[in-house]
Copies of this chain bind each other. A is one copy, B any other.
Amino acid sequence: MGKTERGRRRHKGVGRVTLGDVAKHAGVAPITVSRVMNNPDQVSEKLRKRVEQAVDALGYVPNLIAGGLASAGTRVIPVIVPSLSILTYIDVIHGIQQTLEDTGYQLLLGSTDFDLDREAALIDTVLGYSPSGIIIAGLRHRERAIQRLEACQRPVVEIMEYGASCIDSNVGVDNAEVGRCMARHLVERGYRRIAYVGSRMDRDYRTIQRYEGHREMLELAGIDGSRLLQNDEAASYKTGGRLFMEAMASYPDLDAIHFTNDNLAAGAILEANRRGIRVPDDIAVAGYLGLPLSECLTPALTTVSVPRFEMGVQAAKFLLARLDGEQGEALRCDIGFELIVRDST
């Protein structure tokens, strides 16, 4: 009943089989078990077999936390996005997850609700998990957040938007160019009285970037680019339908509406279906994203398609490259987009 006995009771680390237990069972040193788990080729076949048997017999599962503490890095990849209710981010996360799936890295999910202060706080939190790297949406962050990300000496991939300056690596699209592209298409199609429709534009600055591209292109063509409509609801089909009607009421002479995403645009077409409004004869409708629904509508929706899943895959690949020891220049990738012209314009 000496000190040792009391020491034993100090922590609640009961129940679980530890590396030490396995070592005892196999008659080797703990480090040998560690090697069998992490660097099997450093151990002779004989001992390896013995250890593996012990592992199976005891049902040993490594404590990744302890390993992470000792080696200053857990195999965790935080992914920080603005929202989990927006399909775009989900697709990207899916791409990341699928690429990382069999590499032993786990995704730690965080969402900021488009709030940069919240984002900064979340970054602090997740860095507390000694992650192997981090993937984060956007190129704009609070100064403090950027400092922390740079200081942590871990690969950082910024996704969604593509731009000149990133912390470490960057995969995304050029939103202004997207806006210009669709606006150009509308002008070329002969539309002249065009409105841009968004929702929550105050929160999601990438929508503003697209709008600015749109406006710029229209004004280049001598067309009024300032017709804008938005509100504060989430970008649902219903909201799209409502904004569609509002836009037509606000600007009765409209011949085309450029929606900031396919959710809204699809909502508009569905609303038009319900009301017997003819698209594009009465009014043309264009979207952005290339959601699966866009091609199933009647009329099918003209849209700019972005490879969201692939963006996630590429982000994960950049991360893995860095984790594999690839140094040097920023890894950057403009994932691009594609104008898909369909019947709605």
Contacts and interface: CB of A to CB of B under 8 A. Distances in A.
B267 A15 contact: no
B84 A97 contact: yes
Interface residues of A, number: 58
A293 B106 contact: no
A185 B62 CA distance: 52
Contact of A74 (B85, B129, B152, B292): B129
A257 to B, nearest CB: 17
A249 to B, nearest CB: 20
Given A15-B151, A270-B298, A106 B97 contact: no
Interface in A266-310: 267, 270-271, 273-274, 292-293, 295-298
Contacts of A84: 90, 93-94, 97
A36 to B, nearest CB: 16
Given A237-B293, A274-B298, A292-B237, A69 B72 contact: no
Copies per complex of this chain: 2
A268 to B, nearest CB: 10
Contacts of A237: 292-293, 296
A236 B63 contact: no
A230 interface: no
A61 B148 contact: yes
A85 B94 contact: yes
Interface string A1-44: 00000000001110110000000000000000000000000000
A146 interface: no
A106 B106 contact: no
Contacts of A69: 63, 65-66, 69
Contacts of A13: 72
Contacts of A236: 292
Contacts of A297: 270
A68 interface: yes
A226 interface: no
A335 interface: no
Contacts of A101: 111
Interface stretch (A120-128, A135-143, A160-168, A320-328): A120-128
A293 B267 CA distance: 9
A318 B124 CA distance: 27
Interface in A29-82: 59, 61-66, 68-70, 72, 74, 76
A106 B85 contact: no
Given A84-B94, A109-B109, 9 more contacts: A11-B72, A15-B151, A15-B153, A16-B152, A61-B124, A104-B125, A106-B125, A106-B129, A237-B296
9 smallest CB-CB distances across A and B, nearest first, come from: A64-B128, A270-B296, A107-B109, A84-B94, A237-B296, A273-B298, A65-B68, A65-B130, A61-B124
8 contacts: A11-B70, A63-B128, A63-B130, A64-B125, A65-B68, A65-B128, A108-B108, A270-B297
